[in-house]
Amino acid sequence: MKPSPPNSLAIAWRCPPKSLVLSDCEVHVWQAGLDQAPSQIDQYLRILSADERARADRFYFRKDRDHFIVARGTLRSILSRYLNRAPESLSFSYSAHGKPSLERESGEEAIRFNLAHSHEAALYALVRDREVGIDLEFIHGNPQAEQVTERFFSPREILTLRALPPAVQRYAFFLCWTRKEAYIKARGEGLSLLPLDQFDVSLTPGHPAELLGTRPDPLEANRWSLRDLTLEPLGYAAALAVEGDGWSLALWQWQNSPEAAD
């Protein structure tokens, strides 16, 4: 029987300590805000790589550009605290399906990470010696929700969603979507190799996040733990997928000019 993941009700977002240690039985998740002052955005822009700056310049809307800069700058700043290296010195590589990793970091002890951002918030998950995926969505009215459900949800998920009271179906839709995306991102495979309708997640509000079934290998579901995350402020759905079990979770609140807590 697969163990249940840690209890989300007992954990709150905290200010990080001065010294950060990430063991192989821990998962660290950071929450950060993307709306920042122009001076802060400029500071983050200076630590980005040429490739990241070029990607930022391709955004049509200034707000999207600024959010990308803050999200990438925050990622570099967080990783630098664990690696004791300057954030601008970090280099990233990408899998064939776009999953990022740190260059020149390999082996079982290497830090693995994943990130997600939506609306005005970003999340970052860090682990060692296991895979991880994280997803975040701002909850809003989605006129294409029905089409997305039909195209990407499994038959089991569709039946569960439609059996729920209409008042909670929108929230359940986003619970399902973030849990599926977190798992896909943890696997690091594209939809051509792992279609979204080939696995089932729980989606009923108030029930634990769980990977209920995987096809064609039903044992694959036992390799993963799913976990919901509650952001501050509310209004988002977020999910974490972690390979294996026996891990503990720490939630850290990122501040752009952080004064570390003892």
197 Cβ neighbours under 8 A, 6+ residues apart: 152, 153, 154, 155
Looking at 160-169, 192-201, 240-249, which range is the least confident one?
Answer: 192-201
Percent of the chain, pLDDT > 90?
77
Mean pLDDT throughout 228-246? 93
Provide the pLDDT for residue 8.
Answer: 43
Cα–Cα distance list, 76 to 52, 87, 105 (Å): 11, 5, 14
> Residue 199's closest CA among 133, 248, 247, 111?
133
User: What is residue 261's DSSP assignment?
Assistant: B
Provide the pLDDT for residue 257.
Answer: 59
Provide the pLDDT for residue 31.
Answer: 97
Provide the pLDDT for residue 191.
Answer: 72
Provide the pLDDT for residue 105.
Answer: 63
Provide the pLDDT for residue 11.
Answer: 66
pLDDT in tens, 91-104: 998 888 888 889 87
pLDDT in tens, 139-193: 988 878 899 999 999 999 999 999 999 999 999 999 999 999 999 999 988 777 7
pLDDT in tens, 63-113: 999 999 999 999 999 999 999 999 999 999 888 888 888 987 655 468 999
Provide the pLDDT for residue 194.
Answer: 85
Give the Cβ contact number of residue 200 at 10 Å.
Answer: 22
Provide the pLDDT for residue 171.
Answer: 95
- Checking if the pLDDT of 22 tops 60, the result is yes
